[in-house]
Amino acid sequence: MQNSEEEIPEGFTKIVFRFHSDVLDQEMEETLWAEIVDEESGQYRIDSVPFYIPFIATDDIVTAEYDSDEEALLFTEKLKSSGNSIVWVAIMSNVIKMDMIQEIMEEMGCESEAFADRYFSMEIKAETNYPKVRDKLLELTQEGLINFEEAFISEEHQA
C-alpha cells in the first residue's frame, strides 16, 4: 500500500478508524500508524498517539481488514490492551507555550504529539505513575494554563 505523497516505512502501515465522537457529537475518522504484527491474520500494534479516538492507546494490538473499495485497512477490533493511557490537553492561557507544557509532561515520562498550536495528545505508558501525572495536570488546570480530557485510561491507571 504505497501512498505517493508519503513514504510508508517497512514493517508499518496505516489503519483507518471510524467511530462516533461523544465529545463532538458526530461521526469521525482518524488514521493511525501501526506496526505490522501478523499481516496474514490482520494484526497490528498501534504506533501513533490518537488525537480523537477514545478507545485506543499506543501499543494496543488491533485487527484490521483491507477494504478494496476504499483501498485502505479498516479497524475491526482491539485484541489486546497495552496498558497505556491517552490524555488530550488544550492550552488555555497565552502565558505559557504548548512546548513548555509538553516538556513538563515529558519529564514525567509522557510522550505527546501536537495538533495545531494549542492542543496535543499525550501517551502515558503503563509503567508511568499516572496519579502523579494526573496531579500535575490538575495543578496546571487550577492555574488556568490547560484543560485536559482523559480520553482513554487503562485498567493499570485506574485506581
User: pTM of the predicted model, to two decimals?
Assistant: 0.89
Q: What is the reported pLDDT for 2?
A: 39
Query: Rounded distance, CA 107 to CA 122, Å?
Result: 13
Q: What pLDDT score does 4 carry? A: 42
pLDDT in tens, 49-91: 999 999 999 999 999 999 999 899 999 999 999 999 999 999 9
pLDDT score at 140: 97
CATH class assigned to 85-157: alpha beta
Q: What is the pLDDT of residue 23?
A: 73
69-75: Cβ within 8 A, 24+ apart:
70/16, 71/1, 72/1, 72/14, 72/16, 72/31, 73/1, 73/13, 73/14, 73/15, 73/16, 73/44, 74/15, 74/16, 74/18, 75/15, 75/16, 75/17, 75/18
pLDDT value of residue 9: 81
Domain residue limits, the chain: 12-80, 85-157
CA–CA dist 31, 108 (Å, integer): 27
Q: What is the pLDDT along the chain (159 residues), one digit of tens a residue?
A: 334 456 778 899 999 999 988 877 899 999 999 999 999 999 999 999 999 999 999 999 999 999 999 899 999 999 999 999 999 999 999 999 999 999 999 999 999 999 888 999 999 999 999 999 999 999 999 999 999 999 999 999 986
